[in-house]
Amino acid sequence: MITSIEAPILHSRPAATGSLSSDKPMLIGCSSTPFSFNLIRAASGLLQSQADDTGMICVTGSLHMVSSVLGQLGQ
């Protein structure tokens, strides 16, 4: 699991996660911390770095929150 504190580091250096080629699923999330767009950017970057694998980013919350996330991914 990647926390919101680690997300800016992983976003700038995605290879630092070490086990990207693993068959294990990856979970990136935040629960008790404020929502971080860095988490979504890190998740998007990690999924894009694994071009051979399929992936999914799931965002839960209000429609305002989800639309903000989609807007950030478009940038």
Query: Taking a C-beta distance cutoff of 8 angstroms, is the pair 60, 40 a contact?
Result: no
Res 32 pLDDT > 60 = no
pTM for the whole structure:
0.42
Q: For residue range 33-53, what is the model confidence (pLDDT) as tens digits?
A: 556 677 777 777 777 777 666
- Percent of the chain beyond pLDDT 70? 28
CA distance 52 to 67: 28
Q: pLDDT band for 17, please (50, 70, 90 cuts).
A: very low
Q: How far is CA 33 from CA 9, 23, 54, 62, 65, in A?
A: 17, 28, 28, 16, 15
Q: What is the mean pLDDT of residues 5-27?
A: 52
Q: What's the pLDDT score for residue 39?
A: 72
